[in-house]
Amino acid sequence: MIKVANLSKHFGDNVVLRQIDLDIKEGETTVIIGPSGTGKSTLLRCLNFLEHPTSATITIDDLVVDANSATKKQITALRKKTAFVFQNYALFANKTALENITEGLITVRGKSAVIAKQEAQAILKSIGLADKQDYYPSALSGGQQQRIGIARAMAAQSKVILFDEPTSALDPEWVGEVLGLMRQLAKQKQTMLIVTHEMQFAKEIADRVIFMDQGQIIEQGSADMIFNNPQDPRTRTFLQRVNQ
């Protein structure tokens, strides 16, 4: 469903991503792991064009975007198909929880305010935050903010939700509720691409695990394969270090 071919990203002379190829199937949960500074987040940001890839062909359904000839219209179309969940939540500070969700529905997808509100309320209810709809982000806990962030992504009904270390900025006490919501999404067969350092969670939720190092995909396979029987020495070294 989603096909990434030959994705590279250079920052000046610094090559952050080298010729990444990636296929994601519908309904699949893919988790990317690897050492810090390896380009995992940059890869995610390139898929949403928050970073403009130096080269890449990204295909989602019938939309084909080539990084070298991408028009604004194509980029917007791509962003509509790829929702993003940020490490620091990045909720709109001047909007309430409810408005954070309806904003994109109204401005981007052209839904009426009434319909957008109904949809947003249904989602808030499903994640147990119905009573917080009129709160501003600053009045919510980190865990609640991130769940609203995920709700915003869910509402967009994108093809895939990209999670950029969704629990890294959270106090430990809030990690559970965010991971819980992501499990719920995995059960509903929402296609997800997740960058995370939560290895236990990765093991449990991933249909497929990708190990990246130094801007490249080193190996990928089922969670069982990567965690219990890694082939590449770099994967082994990394897993040993995180399991210590």
Partner 1 sequence: MQMALIGVVFALILAIGLAVVRTFKVPVLNQLAMLFISFFRGTPLLVQLFLLYYGLPRVFPILINMDAFTASVIGLTLHFAAYKAESIRAAIMAVDKSQMEAALSTGMTSSQAMRRIILPQAARIATPSLMNYFIDMIKSTSLAFTLGVTEIMAKTQMEASSSFYFFESYLAVALIYWGVVLIFTQLQVHLERYLNKAY
* Site residues (vs partner 1, CB under 8 A): 48, 50, 72, 76, 79-80, 82-84, 86, 88, 90-95, 103-104, 107-109, 136-139, 152, 156
Q: Toward partner 1, which CB reaches closer, 72 or 241?
A: 72
Q: Write the burial class of residue 120 (CB in 10 Å: 0-12 exposed, 13-18 middle, 19+ buried).
A: buried
Q: Toward partner 1, which CB reaches closer, 84 or 201?
A: 84
Least distance (Å) between residue 169 CB and partner 1 = 11
- Alpha-carbon distance of 208 to 24, in angstroms, equals 9
Q: Toward partner 1, which CB reaches closer, 169 or 199?
A: 169
> Would you call 84 helix, strand, or coil by DSSP?
strand
CB-side neighbour CA atoms (13 Å) of 23:
3
Q: Write the burial class of residue 49 (CB in 10 Å: 0-12 exposed, 13-18 middle, 19+ buried).
A: buried
Least distance (Å) between residue 107 CB and partner 1 = 5
Q: Toward partner 1, which CB reaches closer, 193 or 226?
A: 193
In this structure, is the dihedral angle defined by the CA atoms of residues 6, 59, 71 and 214, taken in order, positive or negative? Answer: negative
Least distance (Å) between residue 25 CB and partner 1 = 23
Least distance (Å) between residue 139 CB and partner 1 = 8
